[in-house]
């Protein structure tokens, strides 16, 4: 039996690798072939991917890159239906040169009445949209896709830029066959690097002859890149080939360098007319800023007034970019701009007010971490004030950001500050201060075993910003509904909010509550968890092993001070024991409970001093967090006298 099973697996494997992957040659056997159970759990499997890059000289455009992509995917379950929609990113410069797609074709294959049927991708399934000033998207949705379908498409991108984007060799679904070939003229020199953070490291061949350089790979059974909870950007850990154009070496010409170091990159960015020149413009805001800071001598107060003014004056249009989109003068006049417009304007105003302010180039979490010195590695800019009295990072695109409390999309390891004297340096973007969420909870047990009391919460820094972003614009009824959501028979009454809009102060939330399902009565005994609806019930860290670091975003302190009024006619049978649980030197959980007359008083706190948990510490952290969940769920037992 075992021999037969082995022969069957060999046959299936051989049939996969002997498939004809020529476009349009999907077979009935491929559609009928059963799938591996692991692949089905991921929703789809990529049967084949081809990624070929070459170059040619085109009239009026010079040398262009030709990127040819073909992909064949089998849909195995409903979770895989999302693969029916695809996006192609196309870059465009200010100069007007841009990438474009040609020869886009696609088919969906199904078995109907025991016959192979294919549906063609038509123009009404193809869409164009603008992502921002630099990127356009061509999206397409394959027709008649259902579980069991195979979708296949191919296209070419014509690019006037010889810079090669990162080539992903791993996707959230497994790949049976991946064919990669890159052919470039030898006088274009590229730095080449396989992502060192990836767990899967494929074999890539580098060769060259007759004036060309060749990169090639024929990969089989590429494992899926499976997401894990609390990963900042899964693509940071994907197997990918990074190729950075470093120089050109044409016959009878001088070497031209493109990426010789971060200082050269930042100097080039500073000279960009939509970067450095924007910092030198001030006439359009002088009168307004003079009025705002009139009579103010304290530098920190000046910075705060200007920061708040920019946030209220210019609204973010949701476009990224480290350069100005339309020019700061126009953005100021229109009251709207991209990230570059807003934060370069902020730097300029702060400098005008006499503060030492400089832009900081950033790659956001969804853009990954740049491994080579390159302008394309950055996609965002924030502001830094360097002073003897205070150093702060600022981002005026968010209404509720404050000094050193940046949008979480920006918290990606480190940024590059570009100073007006031409120097630059790396700065750490990782939050150091703990964000605090302090809850005071009063609990009264009524004779009908309902619970009632008052909740007072105080939230600071990142916790406060997150809460304001989610709830600040809700009306009272919507806020009450959000608090009650997923908390059983909880009824919230009399909500009061303080410092809803004043980001310099802690956000405060107070409300009364009643809870009908907080106590379990069994015979003469009452059982209840003193954390009530604040207790964590689910541990997000369920995987046995973990490949990637845990990103908690920021250090935090969650603290609960609970006061339980014991009901008449009952005595304490058992209470949880006091306990402290340690996680290395990076965190701890404290549970303290004591009786004080007719009251039980608890202090429960989860104290995380770091935001990053390394993969090698995962099992220890998982055990720590499991103990936290278990301890929070322990019950107080009261006995009827």
Handedness of CA 308, 314, 318, 323 (dihedral sign): negative
CATH of domain 435-640: 2.60.120.1130
Number of H helices, E strands in the chain: 12, 36
* CATH number of this structure's domain 262-428, picked from the four choices 3.40.50.2300, 3.30.930.10, 3.10.620.30, 1.25.40.80: 3.10.620.30
Strand order in the sheet with 414-418: 391-394, 380-386, 357-362, 414-418, 424-428
Cα separation, 42 vs 591, whole angstroms: 40
| 2: exposed, middle or buried (Cβ count in 10 Å: 0-12, 13-18, 19+) | exposed
Q: At 341, is the secondary structure helix, strand, or coil? A: helix
Cα separation, 429 vs 441, whole angstroms: 35
CA atoms within 13 A on the CB side of 307: 28
Q: At 333, is the secondary structure helix, strand, or coil? A: helix
- The predicted pLDDT at position 145 comes to 98
> 């060769």: which residue's tokens?
207
Q: At 553, is the secondary structure helix, strand, or coil? A: coil
CATH of domain 25-248: 2.60.40.3140
| 454: exposed, middle or buried (Cβ count in 10 Å: 0-12, 13-18, 19+) | middle
∠ CA 164-152-7 to the nearest 5 degrees? 105
- The predicted pLDDT at position 256 comes to 87
The single-letter DSSP state of residue 576 is P
Residue of 564, 449, 598, 422 whose CA lies nearest to 516: 449
- The predicted pLDDT at position 16 comes to 43
Q: Could you state, in chain order, the average pLDDT of each consecutive group of 10 residues for the chain (641 residues)?
A: 36 48 92 81 95 91 93 96 96 80 97 95 95 86 97 97 94 97 95 94 93 96 95 93 90 82 88 94 97 96 97 95 94 97 98 97 92 84 91 96 96 94 92 96 96 98 94 89 91 94 94 96 96 91 93 97 96 97 97 96 98 96 96 96 90
| Residue partners of 307: CB distance under 8 A and separation at least 6 | 346, 394, 396, 403
Question: What are the residue ranges spanned by the domains of the chain?
Answer: 25-248, 262-428, 435-640
For the chain, the C-alpha Rg in angstroms (whole number) is: 30
- The predicted pLDDT at position 473 comes to 84
Residue of 304, 189, 283 whose CA lies nearest to 243: 189
Burial state string for 434-447 with b = 16 or more CB within 10 A and e = fewer than 16? bbbbbbbbbbebee
Q: Residue 156's beta-bridge partner residues?
A: 68, 102
- The predicted pLDDT at position 9 comes to 35
Q: What is the pLDDT of residues 112-168, one digit of tens each?
A: 999 999 999 999 999 999 887 778 999 999 999 999 999 999 999 999 999 999 999
- The predicted pLDDT at position 95 comes to 62
150-159 and 100-112 strand pairing: antiparallel
Q: What is the pLDDT of residues 210-230, one digit of tens each?
A: 889 999 999 999 999 999 999
């Amino acid at each position: 039996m075992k021999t037969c099973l082995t022969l069957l697996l060999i046959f299936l494997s051989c049939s996969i690798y002997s498939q004809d992957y020529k476009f349009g040659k999907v077979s009935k056997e491929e559609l009928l072939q059963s799938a591996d159970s692991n692949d089905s759990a991921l929703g789809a499997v990529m049967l084949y991917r081809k990624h070929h890059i070459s170059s040619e000289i085109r009239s009026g455009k010079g040398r262009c890159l030709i990127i040819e992509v073909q992909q064949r995917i089998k849909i195995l379950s409903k979770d895989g239906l999302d693969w029916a929609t695809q996006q192609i990113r196309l870059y465009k410069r200010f100069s007007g040169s841009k990438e474009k797609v040609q020869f886009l074709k696609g088919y969906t294959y199904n078995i109907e009445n025991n016959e192979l049927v294919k549906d063609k991708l038509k123009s009404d399934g193809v869409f164009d949209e603008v992502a921002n000033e630099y990127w356009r998207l061509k999206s397409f949705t394959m027709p008649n896709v259902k579980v069991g379908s195979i979708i296949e498409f191919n296209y070419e991108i014509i690019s006037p830029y010889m810079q090669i984007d990162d080539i992903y060799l791993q996707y959230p679904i497994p790949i049976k066959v991946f064919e990669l070939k890159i052919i470039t003229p030898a006088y274009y020199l590229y730095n080449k690097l396989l992502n060192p953070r990836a767990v899967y490291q494929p074999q890539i061949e580098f060769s060259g002859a007759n004036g060309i350089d060749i990169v090639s790979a024929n990969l089989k059974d590429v494992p899926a890149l499976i997401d894990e909870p609390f990963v900042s950007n899964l693509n940071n850990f994907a197997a990918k080939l990074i190729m950075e154009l470093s120089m050109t070496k044409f016959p009878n010409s001088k070497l031209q360098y493109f990426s010789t170091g971060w200082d050269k990159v930042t100097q080039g960015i500073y000279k960009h007319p939509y970067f450095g020149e924007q910092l030198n413009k001030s006439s359009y805001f002088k009168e307004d800023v003079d009025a705002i800071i009139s009579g103010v001598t304290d530098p920190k107060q000046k910075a705060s007034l200007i920061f708040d003014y920019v946030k209220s004056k210019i609204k973010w249009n949701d476009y990224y970019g480290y350069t100005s989109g339309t020019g700061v003068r126009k953005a100021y006049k229109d009251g709207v701009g991209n990230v570059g417009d807003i934060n370069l304007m902020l730097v300029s105003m702060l400098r005008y007010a006499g503060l030492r302010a400089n832009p900081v180039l950033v790659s956001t979490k969804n853009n990954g971490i740049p491994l080579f010195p390159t302008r394309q590695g950055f996609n965002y800019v924030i502001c830094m004030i360097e002073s003897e009295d205070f150093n702060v990072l600022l981002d005026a695109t968010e209404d509720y950001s404050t000094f050193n409390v940046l949008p979480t999309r920006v918290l990606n390891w480190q940024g590059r500050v570009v100073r007006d004297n031409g120097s630059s340096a790396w700065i750490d973007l990782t939050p150091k201060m703990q964000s605090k969420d302090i809850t005071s909870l009063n609990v009264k047990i009524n004779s009908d075993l309902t619970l009632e009391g008052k909740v007072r919460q105080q939230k600071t820094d990142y916790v406060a910003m997150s809460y304001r972003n989610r709830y600040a614009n809700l009306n009272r009824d919507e806020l009450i509904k959000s608090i009650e959501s997923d908390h059983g028979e909880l009824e919230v009454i009399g909500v009061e909010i303080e410092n809803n809009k004043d980001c310099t102060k802690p956000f405060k939330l107070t409300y009364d509550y009643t809870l009908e399902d907080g106590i379990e009565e069994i015979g003469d005994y009452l059982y209840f968890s003193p954390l009530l609806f604040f207790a964590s019930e689910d541990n997000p860290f369920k995987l046995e092993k973990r490949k990637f670091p845990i990103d908690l975003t920021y250090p935090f302190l969650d603290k609960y001070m609970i006061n339980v009024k014991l009901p008449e006619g009952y005595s304490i049978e058992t209470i949880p024991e006091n306990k402290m649980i340690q996680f290395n030197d990076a965190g701890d959980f404290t549970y303290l409970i004591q009786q004080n007359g007719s009251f039980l008083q608890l202090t429960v706190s989860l104290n995380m001093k770091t935001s990053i948990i390394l993969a090698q510490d995962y099992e220890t952290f998982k055990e720590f967090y499991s103990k936290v969940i278990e301890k929070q769920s322990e019950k107080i037992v009261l006995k009827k006298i």
